[in-house]
Amino acid sequence: MANTFTRHINEVSSARQAIGMTEFTLYTVAASTTAVIMGCHVANLTSSAITVTIKAAGVTLVKDASIPVNSGLDLLDGSRINLVATDTVTVQSSAPASADALLSIMERT
């Protein structure tokens, strides 16, 4: 099995799209692939506090986590999460166009 380190950000068709009030799919595990989430960071882009919900494989990892103005949230703090083919990682914010996210992944093919 080959291990490939990748990063995924909130982009649609190669254009940055701030995360808002609808669930944004940050990553989907490809067929015949497993993945390990190595890190996940979400930043507040607004002048007000926001909350975010992050899910992996349909399971809520954090719900309504508060992110103050000019701050960010590191989700994993040293732990790892394993994903299998077709699993997704999603992020949703409490405000429109209010967050950026970066997901660090190790894919095994």
Residues 14 and 77: their CA atoms lie apart, in Å, by 29
Residues 6 and 14: their CA atoms lie apart, in Å, by 15
Weakest mean pLDDT among 11-15, 18-22, 100-104: 11-15
CATH topology for the 3-108 domain: Jelly Rolls (2.60.120)
Neighbours of 11 (CB within 10 A): 10
Q: What value does the mean pLDDT take over residues 2-19?
A: 88
**pLDDT tens for each residue of 62-81:** 999 999 999 999 998 788 99
Q: How confident is the model at residue 98, as a pLDDT?
A: 97
Domain range annotation of the chain: 3-108
